[in-house]
Amino acid sequence: MTMTQGRIDGLDKPVSRLVLGCGWFRPDDERVGPLLEAFLAAGGTALDTAYAYGGGASERTLGQWLKTNGRRDDVVLITKGAHHAKDWSPRVTPEVINAELTESLERLQTDHIDLYLLHRDDPGVPVGPILECLNEHVRAGRIRTFGGSNWTPRRFDEAAAYAREHGLQTFAASSPHFALAVAHDPAHMGHFIVSDDPEALAWYRTRQLPLLAWTSQARGFFSAQLDPAAPEVHKRYARFDHPDNWERRRRCLDLAERRGVPSTQVALAWLLEQAPDVYPIIGPSRIPHLQDAVAALNVALSPGERAWLNLEIGRQP
């Protein structure tokens, strides 16, 4: 089974439609190597990590594997910086970007990042100095292109306007939370959630900005193995514990049974078809789960099925 590919402005490599999330990677975890090999063998190219993941363990583990196996040139390396502090106070400044990017390059044992994402935003900071800083790193060859995780459409538009006025490169990709299940997160955490936001989704469809969706599978919420009656389930899935989401899950399992495919594939197929350029970030730790996600690329849903899954219509298609 071969993975489909897309393109992101500023990159000369194809970007696999599924992005492998590497946040859980640790040096002593024996699952890392086989999973990376399986992902690349399936046609995967895009690997996602961040400065903040595991106190640097994720970046170091990934960097060492790429160097040891000589696979750096085969992948689109994505990392993120400028995450909020532990008390969730913003840290999106040129100084933080410069420091964290330098350390990320060292950890990843590479001279450049293909796609560098700002992990959070600080709407109180003017976009100009941030763009100037990122463009300087592009010119220096330390990053190929850049984007924003959890940035709002309004801020992306501000950045695009500034870039046009000053002859700069602007954001080439976005990474918000997006899944069939609608997350209910506290606003202070700095998350931007596209799910159940028709205006934001319409903006993405119009701009056709590549969208790298994190928590794309709602942490297994749509798995048929999940037991909604188990008390620990509601604690584990607190952000998704809402009647509308349980109804989405019920419909997803129903449609999956009728189509003869796993429910997790139906939920992922729904996401892949929401905008022209969606790249779900998946986080499997086992090869069968990876294979299940890749197979979702071959599941096509009708407009009626997509609307029914998202509670936009009441009658089953």
Task: For residue 234, name the pLDDT band (cuts at 50, 70, 90).
Answer: confident
**Residue 231: pLDDT over 70:** yes
Q: What is the pLDDT of residue 87?
A: 81
Using alpha carbons, select from 210, 220, 215, 283 the residue that is nearest to residue 21: 283
Q: What is the pLDDT of residue 186?
A: 56
Domain ranges of the chain: 5-175
Neighbours of 176 (CB within 10 A): 23
Q: What is the mean pLDDT of the chain?
A: 95
Residues 208 and 186 sit within 8 Å (Cβ to Cβ): no
CA distance 215 to 211: 13
**Residue 188: pLDDT over 60:** no
Strand pairing category for 278-282 and 46-48: unpaired
List pLDDT tens digits, range 160-185: 999 999 999 999 999 999 999 999 87
- Reported as type and span, the H/E element at residue 128 is helix 127-140
Helix axes 263-272, 243-259, angle to 10 degrees: 110
Determine the residue type at 155.
R
CA distance 236 to 206: 35
- Reported as type and span, the H/E element at residue 250 is helix 243-259
CA distance 237 to 282: 17
List pLDDT tens digits, range 272-284: 999 989 999 999 9
Q: Between the CA of residue 160 and those of 32, 156, 167, 245, what are the distances in Å?
A: 38, 6, 10, 35
Please tell us whether the domain made up of 5-175 is placed in CATH 3.20.20.100: yes
User: Beta partners for 19?
Assistant: 281
Tally: H helices and E strands in the chain: 11, 10
Mean pLDDT of 188-213: 91
If phi over 0 gives left and psi between -120 and 50 gives alpha, with beta otherwise, what is residue 88?
left
Exposed / middle / buried, residue 113 (Cβ in 10 Å: 0-12, 13-18, 19+): buried
Least confident of 189-203, 214-228, 273-287: 189-203
pTM: 0.96
Residue 84 vs residue 33, higher pLDDT: 33
Question: Catalytic positions, please?
Answer: 53
